[in-house]
Chain A
């Protein structure tokens, strides 16, 4: 797993906006997933890799694949009480976009996890993976 790189930035007033970065698609997805976790819980470092889940997603392009991946994290937190981050991921972009790998984390434990936002959804607003000499970046708005 690579180090996550994200920061929360100014954005639509009622929502939370972050910019995630990575040298590769895998790093970018990992960073964006970490940002969603950080939006949900006060101290993401306290989320331990106690459980692992396989994940496999396919979409027409990488922007939609990232939206689907983040939506998966939102769903699993709200429906199954799981705080998850990316484990080892593989992202392929060869005409269509596919993600395989695993998510790791644990069930919400109120004694250790201070929940901050009930993230409703990852939105598609302005979501476009951009290439730069430093790698890849994406701006994502979360409805909270």
Chain B
């Protein structure tokens, strides 16, 4: 954790490395963070962000969000926009878990009503939402149906009764990226992913019951507009992605690009995980079309999990999901590349924005936001560790400096390898239960790796995010029950 000598502080929350930091950089590296978070930053983040700054067609800067940490290819929390004509698309700038994302769901329930039923609720969620390695989904699709999921995303499920029109309005891109083409997806990806719709996965994926305490409200007006409108309100948050389907698509295209890069595309990269293709090439277009298929599968996956959440709450409390006020606040993607219009140097341009472990955060008045959020800006969810809670924020106009991107989580500060040596899963469950957090884990060692000590302070990340002008804090949510994948 060495602060580079060349690092310049532009303002209290913006730190920059000029293009001379490493040979070949076309743009600066820019980190939005606090002094405290800069001091905690992995050294490799600077190197990885500098590698990204050297990619062809990058526009503005290689950006790092306040939760940035060491990844592969791009750093996690890395954002980069590319010119559509001269730029590249890179699976390593998106991640293997394409459209890994968060969904926040509000209810009318208050903590005093839920507390006596918490164990029953968490047990039922753990039983009915498949979680952990090697689990099958609960919706079986044939090839034609899965191709429809790839093309249509979450709307395909809503048409079949697995959700509401409002769920789609409150999902990024209405739950469907345009441009998906199943012909660009390998048979292997189909084989790997077809049975996994409706599964949480493992790693840092989870489903959590949380409570909005009165002291957790930062902006009461925005909180009300997001449906967070009662004291001790119970909400549900979950984090998962495109499962093996997206993993295989990324695997296929990284290998294809690595084979094609030196001879065909004529550019070099510093890290093979930055394998890429020109956006304006057949290979680039094919990957984009396949990535959209995985993004749509992921939106569908989260929609299906919400259906199960509704069923479980309905069974436990003996009322319909509608009567319990179970509604999607917002569903945001973390790992994507999207064509968006942004103003750069006074001129509007269409760019391909890679966000790897970063959240889109559109401001009030943005044409892509639904009427519900035109006045507030897009709800943003920053998931914390299972010990520390999570944040809801709102997109703001000053977020233009980051292509309207913001932090996505706490950001790891300790490797899985080290966390596993320090923490025992059984012991962590016991300690958390003492603190009022009921945990059901598919893998005890996996749980140990996700202990709070492995993460930065989510409070510090959310505060720096607001101070940097990337988004505005609305509410802090406290965990009371967690199903860990």
Contact = CB atoms under 8 A, between A and B. Distances in A.
Interface in A6-60: 8-17, 40, 42, 59-60
A124 B273 contact: yes
Given A117-B203, A118-B133, A9 B188 contact: no
B184 interface: no
Contact of A13 (B42, B248, B250): B42
Contact of B192 (A12, A79, A143): A79
Q: Which of B44, B96, B202 has the most CB of A within 10 A?
A: B96
B340 interface: no
Contacts of A79: 188, 191-192, 244, 248
B14 interface: no
Contact of B72 (A9, A67, A114, A141): A141
B96 A116 contact: no
Given A78-B192, A116-B446, A124 B414 contact: no
Interface string B50-74: 0000000000000000000111110
Interface string A132-144: 0000000001011
Contacts of A98: none
B272 A14 contact: no
B20 interface: no
A88 interface: no
B71 A115 contact: no
Given A10-B415, A17-B417, A68-B255, A108 B134 contact: yes
A117 B485 CA distance: 10
A129 interface: no
A80 B248 CA distance: 13
A104 interface: no
B271 to A, nearest CB: 6
Given A13-B70, A71-B255, A144 B272 contact: no
A64 interface: yes
A125 to B, nearest CB: 3
B204 A14 contact: yes
B483 to A, nearest CB: 15
A59 B134 contact: no
B146 to A, nearest CB: 14
Given A9-B417, A78-B192, A125 B73 contact: yes
A102 B202 CA distance: 29
B132 interface: yes
Contacts of B413: 13
A90 interface: no
A121 B412 contact: no
B337 interface: no
Contacts, number: 136
A118 B251 contact: no
A24 B134 CA distance: 33
Interface string B337-362: 00000000000000000000000000
Contacts of B255: 64, 67-68, 71
Q: Which of A15, A42, A81 has the most CB of B within 10 A?
A: A15
A124 B272 contact: yes
Contacts of A17: 415, 417
A80 B194 CA distance: 12
A14 B203 contact: yes
A126 interface: yes
B133 A8 contact: no
Contact of A125 (B69, B192, B273, B412): B273
Q: Which of B203, B247, B416, B443 has the most CB of A within 10 A?
A: B416
A64 B259 contact: yes
A37 to B, nearest CB: 13
Interface string A99-135: 0000000001000001111101111111100000000
Nearest to A67: B255
B192 A13 contact: no
B412 A14 contact: yes
A8 B204 CA distance: 19
A118 B273 contact: no
B152 interface: no
A3 B67 CA distance: 41
Given A71-B251, A120-B96, A144-B203, A8 B417 contact: yes
B132 A118 contact: yes
B133 A115 contact: yes
B97 A15 contact: no
Nearest to A70: B251
Interface string B292-329: 00000000000000000000000000000000000000
Given A79-B244, A127-B272, 13 more contacts: A14-B76, A16-B416, A17-B417, A74-B251, A79-B192, A115-B443, A116-B445, A118-B132, A120-B244, A123-B96, A125-B72, A143-B95, A143-B97
25 contacts: A10-B418, A12-B44, A13-B42, A13-B69, A14-B69, A60-B259, A63-B272, A64-B258, A75-B188, A75-B192, A79-B191, A79-B244, A81-B134, A115-B132, A115-B443, A116-B445, A117-B203, A118-B201, A120-B244, A121-B250, A124-B273, A124-B275, A141-B72, A144-B202, A144-B203
Interface of B: 42, 44, 69-73, 76, 92, 95-97, 132-134, 188, 191-192, 201-204, 244, 247-248, 250-251, 254-255, 258-259, 271-273, 275, 412-418, 443, 445-446, 454, 485
